[in-house]
A and B are shown apart, each in its own frame.
Chain A
Amino acid sequence: AQSVAQPEDQVNVAEGNPLTVKCTYSVSGNPYLFWYVQYPNRGLQFLLKYITGDNLVKGSYGFEAEFNKSQTSFHLKKPSALVSDSALYFCAVRGYTGRRALTFGSGTRLQVQP
């Protein structure tokens, strides 16, 4: 079975500071990992994905994520947070084998204070 854990319900950061949103996963075989963002009363938007290759993946809006196989983690990062980054962030995983639908974490609410 595949699963995702996002250990923080909420992350607070001041504008201009770096941010990290944590994600760990469990899957059989190689993982395909994704980050999505949801703004209030909106659908989900794709941010970035890791399939293979370089462990540091760059995505939309200046976000990046680091894949760490030994720690089974895929943390989302941004060097300098903006107030407009405040939203709900979801990590998701799909395995190379097994269920072909994405499994999502419970989400982390990011609050960026001015």
Chain B
Amino acid sequence: NAGVTQTPKFQVLKTGQSMTLQCAQDMNHEYMSWYRQDPGMGLRLIHYSVGAGITDQGEVPNGYNVSRSTTEDFPLRLLSAAPSQTSVYFCASTRDRVGEQYFGPGTRLTVT
């Protein structure tokens, strides 16, 4: 199993540009989540999904969109990048409410 994969690993955007961060898992997990990690603030939940076709907002959803058309994939779209979105983004998946969460390697995004 590849586990949770994320692409790209690094990305530099100009303010106003849009892009999609890709996330895929091959463990047939129902739950998938996107987090951003900023110094001193831990991991903050952006959006999450409890199954194909079902998504919900987390703590910091503004400026981001998600969709879940398949169990495997959970892309995160930045609509119009802003410097405040400079961060490290982690995708994660878990089997159910009691299962541990598996994390991807992260995407380091810089918005100039």
Contact = CB atoms under 8 A, between A and B. Distances in A.
A44 B90 contact: yes
Interface size, B (range)? 20 to 34
Interface of B: 31, 33, 35, 40-45, 48, 50, 56, 58, 90, 92, 94, 97-98, 100-106
Interface of A: 6, 9, 32, 34, 36, 42-46, 49, 51, 90, 92, 94, 96, 99-107
Nearest to B33: A101
Given A6-B42, A43-B104, A106-B41, 9 more contacts: A44-B43, A46-B100, A49-B98, A49-B100, A100-B97, A101-B33, A102-B94, A104-B42, A105-B42
User: What secondary structure prevails in chain B residues at the interface with A?
Assistant: strand
B90 A51 contact: no
A81 B101 CA distance: 25
A43 B97 CA distance: 21
